[in-house]
Amino acid sequence: MDMQTLKGALKSKTVWWNVLLALLASLEMFAGNLTVLFGQNVAASILMVGALCNLILRVVTTQALAEKK
């Protein structure tokens, strides 16, 4: 990965959204925090909605990471 692509990744909403989802999923996996706070169905719904938002962000993405300014 070249520096321009890395800089573009730091500006990408899709990348940041996936970082957030990965953090939520790891909190759930290691400590069950979402399940304890919201219950099993809501925790699963949060992650499912997150995945659907990821799909939407991918569809509306028109620019390569290296091209982001």
Predicted pLDDT of residue 2? 81
What is this structure's pTM? 0.72
| Rounded Cα–Cα distance for residues 69 and 39 (Å) | 41
Our count of domains for the chain comes to 1
2, 17, 26, 31, 36 from 39: Cα distances, Å = 42, 23, 16, 13, 6
Q: Check residue 67 and report its DSSP letter.
A: G
pLDDT digits (tens, 9 = 90+) for 7-41: 888 888 888 998 998 888 887 777 777 788 888 88
The reported pLDDT for the residue numbered 43 is: 83
How far apart CA 29 and CA 17 sit, in angstroms, is 18
Residues 46-55: pLDDT tens digits? 888 988 998 8
Specify the residue for token string 């169905």: 41
Domain that holds residue 56: 3-67
